[in-house]
């Protein structure tokens, strides 16, 4: 695959450059097996529709065709489960969850990883965080009937934010 350089110019980043070294949606770390693509997540409804509304030039236009977005504000009704399961970006920063090149957090990292960017240390950190969400999956499996999407909707929405398809639990 020919390497491709991406230049980002959006509300949070100016002239950031990164290189795509892998084919789109391929060659993931063997322990990283997301159930949903970024496009599927955006179509289902995540982060109140507010997430990455100014990033259309960076990612494929097809990701946005059916995406549930609201550039003006965070609207929990746009989430798949219709509930707010997000924490403010200020908290993410305080907890040290934000990598400087991905100021919007895990989902931005995942979108760039999906497109083919690889940053070995950051990839390792984010994949470790993704795996940690399985504790929430275990809680749903323990406390809910399989297929009862009305059980623990906030937790299900949060799991959806991490590319797990919580509708199947």
Contact (Cβ atoms closer than 8 angstroms) between residue 45 and residue 79: yes
Q: Give the contacts of 166 (CB within 8 A, at least 6 positions apart).
A: 137, 140, 149, 155, 156, 157, 159, 160
pLDDT for 43 equals 96
pLDDT for 87 equals 82
pLDDT for 158 equals 95
154 domain-assigned: no
Structural domains counted in the chain: 1
Query: What would the mean pLDDT of 109-134 be, rounded to a whole number?
Result: 97
82 domain-assigned: yes
Domain that holds residue 27: 4-134
pTM, entire model? 0.94
Which of helix, strand or coil describes residue 90?
Answer: helix
Burial of 153 (0-12, 13-18, 19+ CB in 10 A): middle
pLDDT for 106 equals 92
Judged by average pLDDT, the poorest of 54-58, 84-88, 110-114, 160-164 is: 84-88
116 domain-assigned: yes
Tokens at residue 8, please?
A: 């980002």
pLDDT tens string 19-58: 999 999 999 999 999 999 999 999 999 998 887 888 889 9
157 domain-assigned: no
169 domain-assigned: no
pLDDT tens string 52-99: 888 889 999 999 999 999 888 889 999 999 999 988 778 878 888 788
18 domain-assigned: yes
Tokens at residue 126, please?
A: 């984010």
Q: Give the contacts of 80 (CB within 8 A, at least 6 positions apart).
A: 44, 45, 46, 157, 160, 167
Contact (Cβ atoms closer than 8 angstroms) between residue 109 and residue 124: no
């Amino acid at each position: 695959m020919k390497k491709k350089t991406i230049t980002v110019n959006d509300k949070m980043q100016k002239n950031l450059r990164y290189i795509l070294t892998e084919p789109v949606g391929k060659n993931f770390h063997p322990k990283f097996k997301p159930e949903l693509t970024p496009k599927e997540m955006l179509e289902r409804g995540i982060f109140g529709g507010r997430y990455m509304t100014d990033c259309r030039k960076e990612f494929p236009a097809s990701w946005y065709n059916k995406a549930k977005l609201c550039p003006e504000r965070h609207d929990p009704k746009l989430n798949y489960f219709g509930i707010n399961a997000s924490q403010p970006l200020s908290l993410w920063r305080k907890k040290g969850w934000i990598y400087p090149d991905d100021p919007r957090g895990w989902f931005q990292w995942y979108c760039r990883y999906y497109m083919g960017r690889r940053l070995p240390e950051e990839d390792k950190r984010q994949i470790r965080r993704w795996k940690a969400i399985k504790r929430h999956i275990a809680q749903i499996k323990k406390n809910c009937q399989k297929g009862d999407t009305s059980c623990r909707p906030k937790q299900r929405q949060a799991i959806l934010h991490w590319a797990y398809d919580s509708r199947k639990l």
